[in-house]
Amino acid sequence: MTIDPIPFPPADLAPDVRFERLHASNDADVAFAYEVKREAIGPHVVQRWGRWDHEFQWALHLKRFAERCFFRIVRDGRAVGTVALTQAGDHIRLDEFYLVPELHRQGLGTRVLDHILALADEAGMPVRLQYLKWNPVGSLYRRHGFLPVGETDTHFMLERPKRQP
């Protein structure tokens, strides 16, 4: 299976949302993505493991940042989240999709996900992702047609089948 970063940001979501490519060579980009992740899923990590292990999480973040194509989600000029999109053989991987907590359950995640799924539909590709089993984000993915394809002790793996444009 080949893994190729998506070489361009998704088209902007008019009128208020745009996507900016993040770069591993830019310390501010790496730090921004880490902080958004910590804010978004930190409480879920603490719920399961009792604490946020900075050294472990930072090492994992650096590894993933080097492997994936990250984008900053910007709304009305403010950086509010991240998403990583990767073409992996016959599907698109959706990873590291985090919004700052004050924007959870405000509709922005739905807009961004709808947009990414439309891009996948144009390409005729399914979308795969995984999330922590106890994270309520699973309801968002199920509403968007994602189906279970596997699980681990900690994660559900889902796929939204390809659709014709």
Contact 116, 25 (CB under 8 A): no
DSSP 51-101: S--HHHHHHHHHHHHHHS-EEEEEETTEEEEEEEEEEETTEEEEEEEEE-G
- CA dihedral over 42, 56, 50, 45, signed as positive or negative: positive
What global pTM score does this model have? Answer: 0.87
Please, which residues bridge with residue 106 across strands?
Answer: none
* Residue 136, helix vs strand vs coil: coil
Tens-level pLDDT at each residue, the chain (165 residues): 445 555 455 667 667 888 999 998 999 999 999 999 999 999 999 988 999 999 999 999 999 998 888 999 999 999 999 999 988 888 999 999 999 988 788 788 999 999 999 888 888 899 999 999 998 899 999 999 999 999 999 999 999 999 865
Domain extents in the chain? 3-125
CATH code linked to domain 3-125: 3.40.630.30
The residue assigned the tokens 């080949």 is 2
Q: DSSP letter at 164?
A: -
pLDDT tens-digit series, residues 94-116: 999 999 988 788 788 999 999 99
Residues 6+ apart with CB under 8 A from 46: 52
